Structure 1
Amino acid sequence: MFSCKSEKNKKTDETKASTEKKYQAKAPPTQPFGKEAFGESDKTTLRWLGMGGFFINSHGTTLMIDPLLGDFDMPVMIDFPIKAENVPNLDAILVTHSDNDHYSIPTNRKLKKVTNEFHSTIYVDSLMKNEGFNSIGHTIGESFTIGDIKVKVLPVDHSWQNAYPGTSDRIFKDEDSCGFWIETSDGTIWATGDSRLMPEQLKMQEPDAILFDWSDSEWHFTLEGAVKLANTYPNSKLLLNHWGSVDAPDFPPFNADPEVLKKLVVNPERIVLLAPGEPFILEKLKK
């Protein structure tokens, strides 16, 4: 498991010294939610948790993707919409990779007792098993189900540790990280995870909603890559994440501005700037 604070210290080439605090886009005010959001439902509701995390309730099947609900090692600008100890139940937690803004050990330890199962890559599964989580590791391309939800594990390019000697005592592989393709009765959701742009990411079925990695960093889509991906799927709703949460105006992975993206993508009205905790109802695209 790797700390984004450590990543920041390693990436001196991405850091610019300044005596004045730079502007940084901030997420809208948090909309807290409680146990009522976890009950039976006749629809699929998504809520951004802040950072890279999401909560999904699809007709009563509940899951979280990359939940981080406190205890981060860098200062944050948001209030998290729910405390981990207030989560009543989860059918599953999906984790895209081992960086601690996505695989939060403190959060997952608190969620362990109310979570039926954890899913991730083979590598992250090994870390989870060390924690005693009821975890299952998957290869890229593998599919599994959570209730009536079907999930497929997708490839990403995010082995940033190899570019910074001393970060890790192991060589990372791209298959140590992943994205997820999630099929519900109300539509499809693509959780991109953190990734540099890959050719195969431009050849997919158009999803109804993309949990969009919005980060102008060399180990993410970058601005150019984000625009290219967004315009490849011109009708998909773009639920931006990885922005507006961490107080790090000099650190590109966390300080992208949605207003920049709005000026460059086709159909900018489909960009959804959720407040942490704000509900979004998933609907299929009109063909």
Structure 2
Amino acid sequence: MPLLLSFVNSNKPPAHRFCRLFRQELALFVGLLATSTLGVQAQTTTGTTPSQPKKYQATAPKTQPFGAAAFAPSGKTTLRWLGMGGFFLNSRGTAIMIDPVLGGFDMPLLISFPIAAKAVPRLDAVLLTHADNDHYSVPTTADLAPVTKTFHSTVYVDSLLQNRHLPAAGHTIGDTFRVGQVQVKLTRADHAYQNAYPGMSKRFFQQEDACGFWLETPDGTVWAPGDSRLLPEHLQYPTPDAILFDFSDSEWHFTLAGAVKIANAYPNTPLLLNHWGSVDAPDFSPFNADPAQLAKLVVNPGRIKVLAPGEAYTLKRVKK
């Protein structure tokens, strides 16, 4: 989550409400006008004055709910978009959620979530890229805690989890650890936007407070970059077999142009879209990306995967 969104799950409601109102005012000026094709729906809202044009937002296909059967052992690795920036991965029985938000978000939504947090039967791990509340959800992590072995994140986010007495482990950038069938490595991110706006936080945020994750499964590699500005190393990794792809045109994310650079650096890698089509914010660039725009810009656009929340995607190795 970028500029002026709730960067920490605060226990101070008045400041939180002020931030949200300020965000809504700013959103009138920083959004993109998005139109929708490529088999996704269009969300229409009316302008605040008769002279304003209607705004359009690409929204996700209809949610495909899933239940306990999705967590069972299998002979493959399956990924499911949870909506927002979240994914669920089942790699031959190893169950991992990445940045799950399954309720309790503070903005209007365009989707229903494919599973309720309290309906999750078990998780070997939850991976959290950073502390923004569209990635680290206090309500969701509270509901998942009884069935989760370990929450993994950066050292900073680990401190937030430890303060809530959740089973957590903190890691530095480049660290690796193992979760069942999956080896996980923290990749670098640049998302310390709070420091750019005096008064936004009393804390000075370090670049290593946010991260991405590189997952090595028996069936291929998955890269979850997290929220980040484009870094040179993002274009220099070994070819992943899937990217959990944020293509929003926000200056504290890759930007659309930066996302295209990443896509074209790995021209055969499937792009599993996220961070789009979930939040009702047609004028707010972090949430209003349009797959139709992306398809016009990337090499081999057929690899763009416009998943419905909950839809299963089977991981396969790509030609390197």
What SS does the aligned partner of 1:274 have? coil
Q: Name the residue aligned to 1:237.
A: 270
CA deviations over 1:158-196 (Å, ceiling 9, x no partner): 011111222211011110000000000100000010011
Q: For the Cα contact (< 8 Å) 1:180–1:191, is it kept in 2?
A: yes
TM-score (normalised: structure 1): 0.96
CA displacement at 1:15 relative to structure 2:
3.2
SS in 2 for 1:261: helix
Counterpart amino acid of 1:234? Answer: P
2:313 is paired with a residue whose SS is: strand
Q: What is the correspondence of 1:184-223 to structure 2 with a 5 Å cutoff? A: 184-223=217-256
- CA distance in structure 2 between the partners assigned to 1:210 and 1:270 by the alignment: 11
How much has 1:16 moved relative to structure 2? 2.4
Partner of 1:92: 125
Residue 2 of structure 1: CA displacement? 2.1
- d(CA) in 1 for partners of 2:193 and 2:294? 24
Equivalent position of 2:113 in the other structure: 80
| 1:102-113 correspondence runs (5 A) | 102-113=135-146
Structure 1: stretches of 5+ with no match in the other structure: none
How far residue 11 of structure 1 moved from its aligned partner, in angstroms, is 8.3
Q: Identity of paired residues, percent?
A: 63
Query: After the TM superposition, which parts of structure 1 deviate over 6 Å for at least 4 consecutive aligned residues?
Result: none
Q: Partners in 2 of 1:80 and 1:166 — Cα distance?
A: 34
Contact 1:191-1:210 at 8 Å conserved across structures: yes
1:12 CA displacement: 5.7
Deviation of the 1:10 alpha carbon: 4.9
> TM-score with structure 2 length normalisation?
0.87
2:29 corresponds in structure 1 to: 16
The farther-off stretch of 73-82 and 14-23 is 14-23
Residues in 1 aligned to 2:132 and 2:216: alpha-carbon distance in whole angstroms: 25
1:161 and 1:73 mapped to 2: Cα distance? 19
Note the residue ranges of structure 2 that are not aligned, 5 or more in a row: 1-6, 10-15, 31-46
Q: Render the CA deviation track for 1:262-284: whole Å, top value 9, x for unaligned.
A: 00000000000000000000000
Cα deviation 1:48-80 (Å, max 9, x = unaligned)? 000000000000000000000011000010000
Asked if residue 2 in structure 1 is aligned to residue 8 in structure 2, the reply is yes
**Kindly tell me: are residues 259 and 8 of structure 1, through their superposed partners in 2, closer, same or farther at Cα, counting changes over 3 Å?**
farther
- The separation in 2 between residues aligned to 1:241 and 1:92, in whole angstroms, is 20
In the alignment, the residues of structure 2 paired with residue 115 and residue 28 of structure 1 have an alpha-carbon distance, to the nearest angstrom, of 29
Q: Would you say the 8 A contact 1:159–1:172 is kept in 2?
A: yes
Q: Which amino acid aligns with 1:66?
A: D
Question: CA 1:10/1:23 → structure 2, altered by over 3 Å: closer, same or farther?
Answer: closer
Q: Given the alignment, which residue of 260, 271, 276 partners 2:293? A: 260
- Residue 283 of structure 2 aligns with which residue? 250
For 1:140 and 1:11, the matched residues in 2 are separated by 33
Which amino acid in the other structure matches residue 47 of structure 1?
R
Q: State the partner residue of 2:43.
A: none
Q: How many residues align?
A: 287
Task: Give yes or no for the alignment of 1:122 onto 2:155.
Answer: yes
| Corresponding residue of 2:39 | none
CA–CA distance in structure 1, aligned partners of residues 191 and 66 of structure 2: 32
Deviation at 1:250, TM superposition (A): 1.2
Secondary structure of the corresponding residue to residue 90 of structure 2: strand
Supply the RMSD in Å over aligned alpha carbons. Answer: 1.7
| Partner SS state of residue 108, structure 1 | helix
User: What secondary structure is seen at the aligned counterpart in 2 of 1:78?
Assistant: coil
Q: Which one is further off, 21-30 or 111-120?
A: 21-30
Q: Provide Cα deviations, 1:190-230, integer angstroms capped at 9, x if missing partner.
A: 00100110001111101000001121100001111011111
Q: Alignment partner of 1:125: what SS?
A: helix
Letter in 1 for 2:295: K
Deviation at residue 14 of structure 1 after TM alignment: 5.3
Deviation at 1:103, TM superposition (A): 0.1
Which residue is 2:96 aligned to? 63
- 1:39 aligned residue: 72
1:89, 1:188 → 2: CA distance? 23
Q: Give the distance between the partners of 1:8 and 1:28, measured in 2 at CA.
A: 29
- Aligned to 1:16, the other structure's residue is in SS state helix
